[in-house]
Amino acid sequence: MRAVPSASADPRRSLAPVWWTLGFVVLTTTVLGLLTWGLLIMHALTYGTFEVLRPQAEVVAPGFDNYVSAFLVGVTVNVAVAFAMVCLANRTRAQRWHPITVGVMTALVGAVAAGSALLLVLDINPVSFLLAL
């Protein structure tokens, strides 16, 4: 009888979740960029409104550099957490899951951690941000 190789022995099978995660990380990084841009626009609109209607409120002007650094921290956390989760998934029962499922789940965990890090760098509490939505 011929032995059937396991799924983990096939190199294409073991790299498939990594490629799916890479694709989803690109998508979540785009969403992080849109979130950063939206927060910058909202900050600028709030600042402009208060400067016109109530200048004594002394709202801090939006600093573009703060938003760029927050985005870079978010991207770093997104990539690091997503690929750390893929490495962990290849050592657990999740290695038997479909590669697309592993890619979606790891990118989702990375995106949540990255979004939280992005908001924390901007001095926004992620929990209160979600409750305000």
Asked whether 107 and 25 are in contact (CB, 8 A), the reply is yes
CA distances for 87 relative to 32, 42, 133, angstroms: 23, 37, 33
> pLDDT category, 6, cuts 50, 70, 90?
low
pLDDT digits (tens, 9 = 90+) for 51-103: 899 888 888 888 899 999 999 999 999 999 999 999 998 888 988 889 999 99
Would you say residue 126 lies in a domain?
yes
Asked whether 95 and 7 are in contact (CB, 8 A), the reply is yes
Burial class (CB in 10 A: 0-12, 13-18, 19+), 94: middle
Would you say residue 4 lies in a domain?
no
Q: Is pLDDT of 5 > 70?
A: no
* Domain span including residue 61: 16-132
Would you say residue 6 lies in a domain?
no
pLDDT digits (tens, 9 = 90+) for 46-63: 999 998 998 888 888 888
In the predicted model, what is the mean pLDDT of residues 24-50? 95
- Per the structure, the count of domains in the chain is 1
CA distances for 54 relative to 22, 37, 40, 41, 130, angstroms: 47, 25, 20, 19, 28
